[in-house]
Amino acid sequence: MLKPVKIVLSLLPYSIILEKASKIYIAGHRGMVGSAILRKLQKEGYSNLILRTSSELDLRNQQAVTDFFAIEKPEYVFLAAAKVGGILANNMYKADFLYENLAIQMNVIHQAYVNGVKKLMFLGSSCIYPKLAPQPLKEEYLLTGLLEPTNEPYAIAKIAGIKMCEAYREQYGCNFISVMPTNLYGYNDNYHPQNSHVLPALIRKFHEAKINFSSEVIILGTGSPKREFLFSDDLANACFFLMQNYDEAGFINIGTGHDITIKELALLIQKVVGFEGELVFDTSQPDGTPRKLMDVSKLNSKGWKYQVELEQGIRLVYEDFKNNYA
């Protein structure tokens, strides 16, 4: 049971400057998102970085997280650690996705408050929005309709993280902000045949079909849903920018503002990989949400916009896949 804590209200917003000597904790630094944030901070000259692998620090363990924060006392936190996966994984491991993400968020956010962290950034996901929300997705559409059933547990956990940051901000004056990235891809992605997201899953499928001289590649679903994709290093640049320039209570979308159909994505990856066979769509498999295009006007108005175009990014990650995973 958590002990009662003293309520201390402070004035918001804060003026944040990340000094080069600032003590910064990146939760989930070996994942695709966390590793991109790590590369960005190192590129910018930050070296006082606190890093722990999941085997060194189990963020689901309340006592372990309590002890870690009490000893390390980070000044800033990027909360990029999460249990993630595609439609198949979300459907198979609903309890795991709900429990593990809630536990990670609860432990890290609360200990950031207890130990006086100057600023925390919580990274969510575009799946928080209702399945049939108007497009593009504006921040105010949160909780205005039913969620997509295939990723509801993950979405509920991420919504809880947003609300937790807002509650600690309102009750205790914590400078905790939330950002909602669109669909991501990049270095250190997950290429597991069952548990990966659509873009890395297709890269693996087309690559294996090419080297095995297969005549076709099977795509799950109809190919009609539309998705937006952001390169993970672009996300890291946005997170670094927002950590210093965004202090509002509400969360903010991070994306490109452009989307394509899954069929168009498959054709683009087929072109990059060089597979010359046929595409077969397995319409017995679920499509998921029909469309998830982020409204990024709020982000753009702050002065940030993405840089890496989709085909360029796919070529970069395909080379990474061949060198490190194939």
| Residue closest to 33 by CA, chosen among 90, 87, 74, 82 | 82
Q: Is 192 annotated as a binding residue?
A: no
Residue carrying structure tokens 């006007």: 297
Task: Give the Cα separation of 289 and 198 in Å (integer).
Answer: 13
Q: Is 124 annotated as a binding residue?
A: yes
When comparing pLDDT for 89 and 28, which is higher?
28
pLDDT single digits (tens) 236-257 = 999 999 999 999 999 999 999 9
Is residue 9 pLDDT above 90, yes or no? no
CB 128 within 8 A of CB 162: yes
Structure tokens at 297: 């006007």
Per the prediction, the chain carries an average pLDDT of 93
When comparing pLDDT for 115 and 150, which is higher?
115
CA distances from 212 to 209, 280, 308 (A): 5, 17, 31
The single-letter code of the amino acid at 94 is: K
- Give the residues across from 217 on adjacent strands: 279
Judge whether 154 counts as a catalytic residue: yes
Active-site option among 25, 46, 154, 185:
154
Question: Given this model, what pLDDT does residue 1 score?
Answer: 47
For range 139-166, the mean pLDDT? 96
Going from N- to C-terminal start, the domains of the chain cover 24-186+228-256+293-307, 198-226+259-292+315-324
Residue carrying structure tokens 């920018």: 241
CA distances from 35 to 26, 53, 156, 240 (A): 9, 12, 25, 13
Task: Give the Cα separation of 176 and 165 in Å (integer).
Answer: 5
| Residue closest to 111 by CA, chosen among 151, 72, 69, 80 | 69
| Model pTM score | 0.91
Residue 47 binned pLDDT confidence (cut-offs 50, 70, 90)? very high
Under DSSP, is residue 79 helix (H, G, I), strand (E, B) or coil? strand
Task: Give the Cα separation of 305 and 309 in Å (integer).
Answer: 11
Q: Is 182 annotated as a binding residue?
A: yes
Domain 198-226+259-292+315-324, classified CATH 3.90.25.10, yes or no: yes
Is residue 12 pLDDT above 70, yes or no? no
- Give the residues across from 279 on adjacent strands: 217
Q: Is 290 annotated as a binding residue?
A: no
CATH topology of domain 24-186+228-256+293-307: Rossmann fold (3.40.50)
Question: Given this model, what pLDDT does residue 4 score?
Answer: 46
Q: Is 184 annotated as a binding residue?
A: yes
Shared fold status for 24-186+228-256+293-307 and 198-226+259-292+315-324: no
